[in-house]
Copies of this chain bind each other. A is one copy, B any other.
Amino acid sequence: MPPPTDEELLDLARLLGAACRERGVRLGTVESCTGGLVAHVITEVPGSSDYFAGALVTYAYEAKVALAEVPPDVLGAHGAVSAQVAKAMAEGARHTLGVDIAVAVTGVAGPDGGTAAKPVGLTYVAIADPHGDDVRRFTWDSDRSGNKRVSAAAALGLVLERLGGTPA
């Protein structure tokens, strides 16, 4: 999948905003590899403070534990880039940020940090809401900046899907 353009990301953020308003939900993000891009895109939409509470950019191990409440044993057992940690980040951020829905992204943006088991581009996107949680696994093949952008699109898309706001 080619990385989305600025305009494509903004279109997703606009749809997301409309869906959050329609359903009266408050949203937050918790981001590792995207580094704040998801929050940045959401807040490009005027009036987004009505439904967007904030974000945690948990780049460091310590931030994942202290801010996103990821249990150290889960990080130790599965590593920062894993389905288990993505789900724990979303659940923790939902609590820390006091939101209805939290979406989490953790991955290997590259160019460094990849391994045979966890190559550059491997990314998990998870969501937590009052109904439970869900997680998706992707392997992107772009560069660092492109991997961040396509991960951000996947995060926005997963929230839209969860809210039933995905365009046909």
The residues of A with any CB-CB pair to B shorter than 8 Å are: 26, 29, 31, 34-40, 42-44, 46-49, 52-60, 62-63, 66-67, 96-98, 109-113, 144-145, 148
Contacts and interface: CB of A to CB of B under 8 A. Distances in A.
A110 B148 CA distance: 26
Contact of A46 (B31, B34, B48, B111): B111
A37 to B, nearest CB: 4
Nearest to A99: B60
28 contacts: A29-B57, A34-B40, A35-B39, A36-B38, A36-B43, A36-B55, A37-B40, A39-B57, A43-B57, A43-B109, A43-B148, A44-B144, A44-B145, A46-B110, A46-B112, A47-B112, A48-B59, A49-B59, A52-B59, A52-B60, A53-B60, A53-B62, A54-B57, A54-B58, A54-B63, A54-B67, A57-B57, A62-B98
Main SS at interface, chain A: mixed
Contacts of A111: 46
Oligomer: number of copies = 2
A64 to B, nearest CB: 9
A43 B31 CA distance: 11
The 4 closest A-B pairs by CB, nearest first: A35-B43, A36-B36, A36-B39, A55-B57
